[in-house]
Amino acid sequence: MQIAIIGLGYVGLPLSLQFARSGVSVIGLDIDAAKVTAINQGQSYIQHIPAAEVAALVQAGSFTASTDFSRIREVEAVIICVPTPLSKNREPDISYITDTGESIASHLGHKSQITNHKSTIAKLVVLESTTYPGTTDGELRAVLEAGSGLQAGRDFHLAFSPEREDPGNPKSRVSDIPKIVGGLTPQCAARAVALYSRAIKTVVPVSSCRAAEATKLLENIFRSINIALVNELKVVYAAMGIDIWEVIAAAKTKPFGFMPFYPGPGLGGHFIPLDPFYLTWKAREFGQHTRFIELAGEINTAMPQYVVSRTADALNSRKKALNGSRILILGLAYKADVDDDRESASYHLLDLFKEKGAAVSYCDPHIPVIRPSREHGHWAGVRSVAWTRKSVAKFDAVVIATSHQAINYQQLADWAPCIVDTRNALAAIKTKPHQLWKA
């Protein structure tokens, strides 16, 4: 079997490797020629994916990459793994999905061929990009049908299967994470289940594309709302002189009815900060208002301002003003031990401190230089500060935004005059009086 996976980022590349390991021949398609070249040379541009693994599958002929979308004609199935960002007005931007649909539509086959050889010619198209319910059987279907002259559910199969990735978690393997699948028709669903069953141990079919799209949104909204809860309690308990981290540690000893979530400087990653607003936007079409989701969004997006305020308080206690101070953001990635900086709250901190007149830098062992991006291109090219006593000691305050294991926090406590900890990273580290502030 041969398939194409479009979009070779944090979702598409691991999925490509898993299919290739499972005996499926994979063509990885991407408009980024640099990624294509890297893969074909056996290199990895994602830190937690070993280059040796890519090289082995490329050399075996199981995995190849290309910028030529006409190669879709060679495959039985196409999986779309492209970004779904929000616009400047915080509205869903599905242009990557529709543009991809237009690029592949003309390669789905000819109607006469499909009519005569339907069982072998009809391709399967699966969308994995997180989006609002109705995208797959609505916008994507319309683009594919218009560009191909074919009918979804008859001349080609169409399905949605949301990605589930946990970067940086060594126990999280693509093959072990159950896969949700929803098809346009029962036949579409059956084809998608058969495809994913080749590479994934557990495949969970649902009744429709929309049910599968809604499932992914529920998963991310669940996290967003619970993180907002502990972020709000962090602020409330801090005003009462209570440590939220101690409270969570005590609460999670309850063996039933409680699941621990942890506060931070704001939400990060490509999914949790964005995906809830896909449902919020779509709900308005049906005259529904997602007040709970929107309130959680307000709380989480306010966290960077709270961190800046706490940093100003910490500096004030040392008779220093934030304006003119030197601030080091420790950790640029959105979560610990990865090089993924998409939608990281650290970027909001960099912007806010700069607006307040501080001289702000960052240090992250996983991101030596800031790469160009859609959202934070104005920071592109800035390099990570060296991890030395001399480099760290010259900052007036260090803000821990991401708790990487590669950081020696005892050294930080020995070197930095003032530390604002948003991750409880120094819980077991001995610090000096008035040196440590929690935010």
Taking only the tens of pLDDT, the chain with its 439 residues reads 999 999 999 999 999 999 999 999 999 999 999 999 999 999 999 998 999 999 999 999 999 999 999 999 999 999 999 999 888 777 899 999 999 999 999 999 855 454 444 445 589 999 999 999 999 999 999 999 999 999 999 999 999 999 998 877 777 889 999 999 999 999 999 999 999 999 999 999 999 999 999 999 999 999 999 999 999 999 999 999 999 999 999 999 999 999 999 999 998 876 677 788 889 889 999 999 999 999 999 999 999 999 999 999 999 999 999 999 999 999 999 999 999 998 899 999 999 999 999 999 999 999 999 998 877 889 999 999 999 999 999 999 999 999 999 999 999 999 999 999 999 999 999 999 899 999 9
CATH number (domain holding residue 161): 3.40.50.720
The CB-based long-range contact list for 303-307 (8 Å cut-off, 24+ gap) reads 303/231, 303/263, 303/264, 303/265, 303/266, 303/267, 303/345, 304/265, 304/266, 304/345, 304/348, 304/349, 304/352, 305/352, 306/235, 306/439, 307/265, 307/266, 307/349, 307/399, 307/401, 307/420, 307/422, 307/439
* 184 belongs to a structural domain: yes
Q: Which helix (H) or strand (E) holds 227?
A: helix 209-239
Q: Are 286 and 172 part of one and the same domain?
A: no
Q: Give strand pairing partners of 203.
A: 179
Q: Between vectors from CA 163 to CA 157 and to CA 166, what angle results, nearest 5°?
A: 165
Task: State the total domains in the chain.
Answer: 2
Q: Are 275 and 170 part of one and the same domain?
A: no
Question: Looking at 159, 176, 207, which one is the last position of a domain?
Answer: 207
Range of the domain at 371: 223-438
Q: Are 430 and 284 part of one and the same domain?
A: yes
Q: Are 123 and 260 part of one and the same domain?
A: no
Fill in the DSSP letter of residue 427. T
DSSP three-state, residue 82 = coil
Q: What is the pTM of this model?
A: 0.91
* 163 belongs to a structural domain: yes
pLDDT recorded at residue 199: 97
CA nearest 209: which of 186, 181, 187?
181
* 137 belongs to a structural domain: yes
Structural contact between residues 11 and 19, judged by C-beta atoms closer than 8 angstroms: no
Q: Are 306 and 189 part of one and the same domain?
A: no
CA nearest 380: which of 372, 388, 390?
372
The CA–CA distances, whole Å, from 375 to 33, 152, 308, 336 equal 21, 35, 21, 21
* 242 belongs to a structural domain: yes
361: which 2 tokens? 């830098």
* 66 belongs to a structural domain: yes
pLDDT recorded at residue 90: 77
Q: Are 237 and 185 part of one and the same domain?
A: no
Q: Are 168 and 126 part of one and the same domain?
A: yes
Q: Are 186 and 289 part of one and the same domain?
A: no
* 214 belongs to a structural domain: no
Q: Are 229 and 342 part of one and the same domain?
A: yes
pLDDT recorded at residue 266: 92
* 268 belongs to a structural domain: yes
Q: Are 174 and 229 part of one and the same domain?
A: no
pLDDT recorded at residue 375: 78
* 215 belongs to a structural domain: no
Structural contact between residues 329 and 361, judged by C-beta atoms closer than 8 angstroms: yes
219: which 2 tokens? 């998963």
Question: Looking at 146, 180, 207, which one is the last position of a domain?
Answer: 207
326: which 2 tokens? 């030197």
CA nearest 420: which of 301, 330, 324, 345?
330
Q: Between vectors from CA 82 to CA 77 and to CA 87, what angle results, nearest 5°?
A: 145
Q: Are 202 and 295 part of one and the same domain?
A: no
Question: Looking at 207, 237, 263, which one is the last position of a domain?
Answer: 207
Q: Are 84 and 174 part of one and the same domain?
A: yes
409: which 2 tokens? 């926090």
